[in-house]
Amino acid sequence: MRVLHITHLYPKPYDPMLGIAIHNQVKWLGKLGCSQKVLSPIQWVPFPVEYLSNKWRSYCRVPLRSVIDGIDVYNSRYLAFPKALFFDSSGFRMYIGIRGAVREIWRDFRFDLIHAHMALPDGHAGILLSSQYRVPLVITVQGTDLDITAKRGKRCLSVLRKVLAHADKVIAPTPRLAGILSTEFNIDPEVIGYGIDEGEVFTGVSELSSIYKDKRIVLSVSRLIKTKGIDLQIYAVLKLIRKYENILYLIVGDGPERARLESLASELGIEEHIEFVGALSHGKAMEYMSICDVFSLPSYQETFGLVYVEAMAHGKPIVGVKGQGIDGVISPGSTGLLAQPRDVDSLVDALDFLLSHPEKAQTMGERAQKLVLENYTWEKNAERTIEVYKEVLNAH
């Protein structure tokens, strides 16, 4: 089975973690026998825009072709406008930019189907290529498609409906997204969650346990950007230290918000209860997950949130946010808790419950671990995705 993946979310030299979930999925599909190539379009940067900022310069330095973990990746350029201007036509512009690379791929790699990993713009480009090469199209819908793109205006919504209606099969990574597709788009998707690699779960005895002895540890692992809600959690810790003097909030990750968040902790006078660990290797981040009491990330813009699932795989109770990707994976009160978006008091209540009911928290963590290992591994993700591929190929 030969698959052409189209995804603008894929690891790049300037951001190796970009689209890492999709890359992990592609790797596991390869392990189970799929022959694959990845087309990961990137914004075209005309002269002299590349000299205006490091961001644009970093785009220019991405090679047109590379190999990542043995996977051929093509980084064709396409015209994209800042601030998502004219986004309804972004898929057509992506198609114009990548069609030459697709012709080159087709000469030596007659792909059997196309898998686009977002409806817009990837899926729109995918339907044009699907028609041109007469191969079926599978689209994985992301939270961005339904929570942001669908609300950009009538034109974007119209294009989104057209793309989803054309797909031979639509995949939703979470039950929440599946519900939206069913009720608002009249589409019955296949629900296939992203996953974890069981071999990467930390099962040893960590020296971190002695370093943080006698601390009640709340952990976040995240890129430090505004939508992750780390500032909300800092305010929550401010309220919780009145009841839990030994609470320690560990923040693993780095990003543009770090300086502001460090200043916030200092202004609130709670630096001794907040530790900015910084960016770590994936393995070390997993080790931190193994020693926390609660994993909490109040992100209010999250398609899925692999870090939640990774923490669940370590048997930890989770605090996520209602209406986001993890909603539907977490069963409130059973495998974790969900706070209201951007609501510090709701976050405090969830953390307080888990910290004050350690036995119930442990039971939630155990249920969460069982759920993940039975349903959210990359191997199971790849198996179910291949079943979808076979279904659409047999019907085509």
Tens of pLDDT, residue by residue over 304-322, are 788 999 999 999 999 999 9
| Bridge partners, 125 (sequence order) | none
Residue 318 CB partners (closer than 8 Å, separation 6+): 294, 295, 296, 308, 311, 312, 326, 330, 335, 336, 337, 364, 368
- Burial status of residue 65 (CB atoms within 10 A of its CB: 0-12, 13-18, 19 or more): exposed
Distance (Å, whole) CA 319 – CA 135: 42
One of 3.10.110.10, 3.30.70.890, 3.40.50.10740, 3.40.50.2000 is the CATH number of 2-195+377-395, namely: 3.40.50.2000
The whole-model pTM stands at 0.89
φ, ψ for residue 51, nearest 5 deg: -90, 0
Task: List pLDDT tens digits, range 359-370.
Answer: 999 999 999 999
| Both tokens assigned to 46 | 């005309």
Residue span(s) of the chain under CATH 3.40.50.2000 come to 2-195+377-395, 198-374
Q: Which of 336, 247, 241, 264 is nearest to 298 (CA)?
A: 336
pLDDT for the residue numbered 49? 63
Q: Which of 378, 367, 202 is nearest to 292 (CA)?
A: 202
pLDDT for the residue numbered 50? 62
One of 3.40.250.10, 3.40.630.30, 3.20.20.70, 3.40.50.2000 is the CATH number of 198-374, namely: 3.40.50.2000
pLDDT for the residue numbered 327? 86
